Amino acid sequence: MTPFKTFILLSIILTLIALMVTYAAVKFTSSIHPATMVTPYVDIENVTVSGEGLIIKLAVINAMGNLTITGGYANIIETGQSAPLSVAGPLTLEARYPLLPPQYVNLSTIGVKGLVSGTFYGGDPMYIGFFLVAPVSVRINVWVSNVKYSDCILDITLSYSTPIPLVISELTNATLVDDTQSSYVFYVIGNIPVRTYISPGINNTVITINLSKISSARVFTCSLISGHTYTLYLPITVTYMYPTTNVTNQLTLYNVFRAGG
């Protein structure tokens, strides 16, 4: 074989090898897909204001791998209050604050910033900063927790949890029924003025009514029968005393209880 033919043959072989290497490299490259990095972040589940104070619940979103939440802190932008974050679940935390100053109770939204701390994989430290705005839910609860009735005198214990002052101004058509005998103990036609002030927080207050002195009351018995079940129906007029305005509503309370324990 002449040197020229040998050169041509080697050129063809080298060209084929180069084409094969190029084809393999292209196939390999096309099989590689870039990984999408998932970054964990913090979001607010809810913000509630009640007689307990203000409670913020947070959740860690997009938590991948062996991630453990250990705590952190959260600051309220509007009030400057700060509180540690306690672990409420595997990826949830909460911060609790005292009762808000009155001017902040009627906020529709609240700003929160802070830091969540934790560990991942082999115990390496992890921190997630956050700055969030969330709506505020105000929770006001009033309920009848105890009823006593003797000698035509009714003692009603109201329990409450409220971040703002309340005023109970009157009871309307209060009724006590003996469920065991399917009969009335008493009922009142119309309103009974009471004017009971409730301060913010969690507590109890007692309203006492002497039915024998209420002209609109229809009293059938002045005492309870031990072992009988009774139901007290108690519609009340409540004024919610917000910092900038007062709101008056009707609220119907009831309590089912057994006399004598």
Cross-strand bridge partners of residue 93: 58, 87
Distance CA 221, CA 160 (A): 30
The pTM (predicted TM-score) of the whole model is 0.74
Residue partners of 38: CB distance under 8 A and separation at least 6: 62, 64
- Please give the average per-residue pLDDT across 160-181, as a whole number: 95
15-24, 93-102, 245-254: which has the highest mean pLDDT? 245-254
pLDDT, tens only, 23-59: 555 555 555 545 555 688 999 999 998 988 899 999 9
Residue 6 confidence (pLDDT): 60
Q: How far is 220 from 231, CA to CA, in rounded Å? A: 15
pLDDT for 63 equals 76
Q: What is the pLDDT of residue 2?
A: 66
pLDDT at 11: 57
Please give the Cα distance from 169 to 63 (Å, whole number).
Answer: 51
pLDDT of residue 14: 52
Question: For residue 21, what pLDDT is reported?
Answer: 54
Region of poorest pLDDT, from 27-36, 61-70, 175-184, 204-213: 27-36
- Residue 81 above 80 pLDDT? yes
Predicted confidence at residue 213, as pLDDT, reads 93
Phi, psi of 91 (to 5 degrees): -130, 25
Kind and range of the H or E run holding 4: helix 3-30
pLDDT surpassing 60 at residue 259: yes
Write out the CATH class of domain 141-258. Answer: mainly beta
41-138 and 141-258 have identical folds: yes
pLDDT, residue 99, reads 79
* Range with lowest mean pLDDT among 8-17, 129-138, 227-236, 250-259: 8-17
Task: Give domain limits for the chain.
Answer: 41-138, 141-258
pLDDT at position 64: 72
If one compares 13 and 237, the residue with the highest pLDDT of the two is 237
Mean pLDDT within 205-224: 95
Question: Which CATH topology does 41-138 take?
Answer: Immunoglobulin-like (2.60.40)
Q: How far apart are CA 142 and CA 17, in angstroms?
A: 86
Given this model, what pLDDT does residue 13 score? 63
d(CA 209, CA 153): 6
